[in-house]
Amino acid sequence: MSAVPAPSPPRASTEGGAAPKLTIEKFADAGIACLRFSGTIDESFEGKKLGLTAAGDVLVIDLGGVKKISSFGIREWVDFVGTAAKQVRSVILIECAPKVVDQLNMVANFTGGGRVFSFYAPFRCDYCDSEHRVLLQVDRDHETIKTMKLADRPCPSCKEGMYFDEDGATFFSFVIGQDRFDLEPEVATFLATRLDYAVSDLNRKLRVEKVIEARTTYLRLTGDLDRTFPRDKLAEGLEGCVIVDLGGIGRIEPAGAAEWRTFVQLVTPLVEQLYLVAVPPTVLEKLGGKEDLGAKAQVLSLTLPYTCGGCGTTTGQLIDVLAHHAVLKFATAPELTCGCKSSMACVASEALMTVLPGLPKPTASAELVKSLGILRERTHAPIRRVADRPSAAPLPAARSSWLVPVLSALLAIVISAVAFLAYQRFTGDGAPAAATPGGQLTNRSAPVRPAWIAGDTPATATCSDAPGKGLVCVGISSRAAREDDAEDEAAEAALEAVANAIAVRIVDPRWTHAVLPIYSAARDAKLAAFDRDPASTTARREVREARQAVARAVRATANGAVPSTPTGRYWEEYAGPDGKRYLAFAQVTVGPTEITRLVTGYTQPATALGATVVASFPLVGWRHPQVERGAIIVSVADGPLSTAGLTEQTIVLAVDGREVTDAASFARIATDEHAALEAHGGTLRLRVQTADPAPREFTTAVKGTVESAPATGSGKRPRAHSTSNVNIWDKFGGNKGSGRDDPTQ
């Protein structure tokens, strides 16, 4: 997890001029502060002294960079956190390193009454002899943490399976005694927008607030910018002067950036002026170029990171572009002074600073500034306080108050901006725009583009709401040499978009916890690689193959709820240096009744032999393209399947050679086969898809009521595991619950 780079004063002694053993970076915004520790905490750490400097409402402590804590360092740490806890309302520990988790489990009052939100679990890969850390959050991963077991997952280095390298009962002993909790929205926004932390997906879903005052429309966006950005819905009906407040935007996915650019292009002909305010550095850097702003977008204010040379605190300072345009146009940051009276230095990245000269000089009127102040007062509120806050530590005044009555000053402290790449579209008479893909348009399947086509970025797909809460998804092919290939690719992209739209509509936490992690990382990585280099043959092939797999799974599992062929088709032929190229479009429409049926079908659980499962979801194809049907284990209790070694996120494909198509078929087949074996004993065999690339076979012995169960074979253990896993293996006698590669693959 990265944050704005900032020099931090040493907080521990140095030896012989060497780098300090411990460094502490400080970040703050209004009533929220964050301290990031890196290095070794030992007796030179002046804990109580640092604790007395804590002030504000919420103190976030980042311990991801802690390498070691000595015995005397623990004493200083307890003094620090105990003192700091008395100065603030709430203390939250994030990204605790494994060494920190060890101390949490052994040292009383290590948190000073604070709560742990996230921590790293150690994993090991025996294939490439490497060690890795996996971040867990108490909101998102609460149920997994309670089981004290973590499933194997792909190694980032070699892509083989790596395993949890700790005893679960010991490692999770402190965290399981803590209740599940969610970050307050203000804290989640601070971490995401100011420090680029990836907080819980549920906390960062995009929220939109809309206020209309006279001829001014004010939109406030809060959350992450991803593929679900509702560009069409947001653009519909906009007119007059539009102000978009982007201060709450956190992480930006490549697909989200593309959706935003399309939104800007859609509203440009509809509005008189588009003003962007309160944009964080990440948004300005990725989406603030001249080509992004278009004809009508202007940045009224922006946020730049500054570090104080006196107190060492890094804060986001909101800059009025009009007031400082003469300085910004030379890629220079305005000179500012900290509240401690020391000079501040801008620590923005070089890439961010190069954006500044291209920002147009704002033309906002005084009346607009006044409207902006009124609208922001209606939608912004300070962080939640509690009545029992310690009176000894009053909350300092926010450095940048949003409720200041001087409206012109309000504009200077809360705004920032970005607008985006003009989208290639057709004019009203059907003639192509100047920037046509692949050369000159020479032929097409209809005289004009259908109205359902809103853009033409190759190899993309979007969905929008249809009347009655239905769904319309449009897929666009890449530039293909054959018309039929382009049409197939567009249809596959549309079906994949349908599957993703269904996933967004699923709110069952058990499904989100067990199913989403199977495919989300693979999907995000492949789409990001393609977005970075659309010309890459490898990146295009991986996205295409994944969409083909997802489309096959949709057709196999939707049971007629999704049309097997597109409800709309259109293609264009272009002549260029490489010969003819085709760009195809496909539309897939799904009705509200069918959407409800799909959500229910994919989330309806079934239980057998101690395991609860749901139907395999089509997006699993991003990671396991060979999986079209099956049942995903969402929880497993004591029983034959746990004895066999099956865990959550395992996909059951077959039981004793009988294919599993969904959750109900798994329950029926597993129950039948186990009951048949109970008469005389035998071996229950399950073909499953784990994190490994190829399916594997797991077996478990079933003791008969008539005679003893026969031997189950020589299940071979693939590699050495941690102590806890060895004990589990030995407990079941090795052969009783064996997992091996599927010999049929």
pLDDT at 644: 85
Task: Please enumerate in sequence order all residues whose Cβ is within 8 A of that of 174, keeping only pairs 6 or more positions apart, or say none.
Answer: 101, 104, 105, 116
What is the rounded average pLDDT of the residues 39-47?
A: 92
Q: What is the pLDDT of residues 88-127, one digit of tens each?
A: 999 999 999 999 999 998 888 899 889 999 999 999 999 9
Range in 270-284, 567-581, 709-723 with the lowest mean pLDDT: 709-723
Q: How many CA atoms within 13 Å lie on the side-chain side of 412?
A: 13
Q: Which ranges in 506-589 belong to alpha helices (H)?
A: 509-514, 516-532, 537-557
Report how far residue 554's alpha carbon sits from residue 628's, in angstroms, rounded to the nearest whole number: 8
More confident position, 161 or 435 = 161
pLDDT at 341: 81
pLDDT at 19: 52
Q: What is the pLDDT of residues 483-541, one digit of tens each?
A: 999 999 999 999 999 999 999 899 888 898 899 999 988 898 888 888 888 878 888 88
Report how far residue 108's alpha carbon sits from residue 97's, in angstroms, rounded to the nearest whole number: 18
Report how far residue 313's alpha carbon sits from residue 34's, in angstroms, rounded to the nearest whole number: 9
Task: Please enumerate in sequence order all residues whose Cβ is within 8 A of that of 257, keeping only pairs 6 or more positions apart, or say none.
Answer: 225, 286, 287, 420
3-state secondary structure 598-640: HHHHHHCCEEECCEEEEECCHHHHHCCCCCCCCEEEEEECCCH
Q: What is the pLDDT of residues 691-720, one digit of tens each?
A: 888 898 898 898 877 544 444 443 333 333
User: Are the beta carbons of 228 and 504 closer than 8 angstroms?
Assistant: yes
DSSP classification of residue 697: E
Taken in order of first residue, the domains within the chain and their CATH numbers are 22-186 (3.30.750.24), 205-383+402-413 (3.30.750.24), 440-597 (no CATH), 605-741 (2.30.42.10)
Contacts 24+ apart (CB under 8 A), 668-671: 668/608, 670/608, 670/609, 670/611, 670/641, 671/608, 671/609
Report how far residue 195's alpha carbon sits from residue 316's, in angstroms, rounded to the nearest whole number: 10
What is the rounded average pLDDT of the residues 6-35?
A: 65
Beta partners for residue 741, in sequence order: 696
Report in angstroms the alpha-carbon separations of 55 from 46, 60, 81, 450, 638: 17, 11, 13, 59, 49
Tokens of 651: 């996909």
pLDDT at 374: 56
Is the sign of the CA dihedral 650, 656, 661, 665 positive or negative?
Answer: negative
Q: Three-state SS for 456?
A: coil
